[in-house]
Each structure stands twice: as structure tokens, then as C-alpha cells.
Amino acid sequence: MADEERYPRKLTSQERELLLWVLPEDRPGYRFYRTSVLEWNVASKGRRGEGNYVLAAPGETVDNDSPLPQVVAYGVVQTPSAEIAVVVRERLGNQVEFEITSIHGDSETDFRAIAGRWTFSSWLPGQPCPICSGAPRVVTMNTEGGTAVSLAICPRDKRVWVYNGQTGMNHPVPLTNFYNELMLHKNVRDPRVALDSRRLFSDLSQFTDTDLAKGFASYNTIRSKIPAEQRIRVEEPRPQTFFERLSSFTKRQ
């Protein structure tokens, strides 16, 4: 992206196209962000270097001192010479921070030769992983208000994200913090396991849906992806009846 020294400035046509792509029009939760892209100007650079900017309402004083907002939309564009990450962060008052940065290859790339692209934003439960097209592990939960929530884990791409059925938004879930809460729930004290967050993917089959739901519910109270007032309700598995246990034992013989 060309560097602009004077602010405010309008988004470039390429910036606008990429930002709207990771903010699907059919998902109500992204509506505010789409409106910001269409109506606001770039007020300043952000705090994370090249490609990081802040959109702000007219007359708004940019806040670059508050904690960095969480990611609400993420996608990657692949060209013959680079992979470009497109990131939109949670609103901070009347400003929205975004990043369009190279994660591999040339920082300056020709977007007319896009070879592929993927985004979490368009995913729906039941669909394949947007990155590898494999089947992610999906854990279905509900909030106390009845909103459907789906936690998706792709062991192949080592990604975790959560879908909010009310807003239609998909939030990337940072691996380390989520895994820490999962280990606390499981009462795992061995540091070789508890501190190795990549084991979430290699040992995924060892965790029940209830384990994963409880880990996420705990994580969500600390860094809410689903609004905190919509507390996650975790259903305990129904104990097997005597006849179900007997039938299970018989099948193993």
C-alpha cells in the first residue's frame, strides 16, 4: 500500500475492496464496520507499523493509547508473490483500526493477479474450513439467552474460531489463552502438556465437546468473543442408563 503522509485521507479503492470483502454484507454484526469503511476517512497511522491505519468519524481524536482492540474480521489474499493479511479490529468508540500487511513475500504486490483468498468471516457451521477445505471439529453451544454458538477447531491449519449465530460474525480465538483455560478446566499440571498449546490439535480427539465448551466459556469471561452478558451455557452430558452401559460393554466383547 502506498504510504500517505497527510491525514485525514480517503481509503484507496484497493483498501476499500479488501475491507468490504472481510466484512460480508449479509452478516448483521459487520454492518457497523461496513458503514465505517464506506463513510469514514483514514485519520492516522496505527501503532503496529506499515499497513496499519485508523478509520475515524469526522472530528474524532484518534486514541492510540488504549489496549489494542480484538480482531473481528480476518482474511488472507494470495498473489504469485505474496500473502497479504486483512484485519479489522473491534471498534473503539468512533474509530476502527485495520491492517493490510504482508505475512509472506513482497510487501508491494499486484492485486490484479490474485491466486486465491480466504476469510473466516463468511464461514457457517457445517461448512468446511475456509483455509484447507477440510472438516473442522465443531462444538455447538448456546448462550443463556438462546443464541447458538459454534466453536470451530481445524487441526490441519491449527486455527480456532467461534461463530455467533445472532450476529453471523466469526471471531478468531487466540490459541494460547483458550488452551490455558482448557488446561485449568482439565486440571492438567504437567508443564510439558499444560504449556504446549499446540497439543490442542495433536490431542484433539482426547477432549470431549464438554471439555472444549467449558474451556471456551471460561476463556470468554476473560476476553469475550461472545458478549459477556450472553453467558455461555454448557450442557453436561447425560449419564448413561444401566441398559446403555450394559449395551456398550456387550459391544466391546
Q: Are residues 86 and 114 in the same domain?
A: yes
pLDDT in tens, 204-219: 999 999 999 999 999 9
Q: Are residues 98 and 39 in the same domain?
A: yes
Q: Are residues 111 and 181 in the same domain?
A: no
Residue 126 lies in a domain: no
The pLDDT assigned to 1 comes to 46
DSSP, res 90: -
Q: Are residues 17 and 107 in the same domain?
A: yes
Residue 71 lies in a domain: yes
Residue 248 lies in a domain: no
Residue 249 lies in a domain: no
* pLDDT bucket at 244, cuts 50 / 70 / 90: very low
Residue 177 belongs to domain spanning: 137-233
* pLDDT bucket at 230, cuts 50 / 70 / 90: confident
The pLDDT assigned to 103 comes to 86
Residue 7 lies in a domain: no
Q: Are residues 24 and 101 in the same domain?
A: yes
Residue 37 lies in a domain: yes
Q: Are residues 157 and 115 in the same domain?
A: no
Residue 44 lies in a domain: yes
Q: Are residues 151 and 228 in the same domain?
A: yes
Q: Are residues 95 and 159 in the same domain?
A: no
Tell me the average pLDDT across 3-9: 75
* pLDDT bucket at 80, cuts 50 / 70 / 90: confident
Q: Are residues 90 and 156 in the same domain?
A: no
Cβ(186)–Cβ(211) under 8 Å?
yes
Chain-centre distance for alpha carbon 95: 20
The domain tally of the chain equals: 2
Q: Is residue 44 within a helix (H) or strand (E), and if so which, with residue range?
A: strand 41-45
Residue 244 lies in a domain: no
**What are the b/e assignments for 80-117, b being 16+ CB within 10 Å?**
eebbbbbbbbeebebbbbbbbbbeeeeeebeeeeeeeb
Alpha-carbon distance of 169 to 149, in angstroms, equals 10
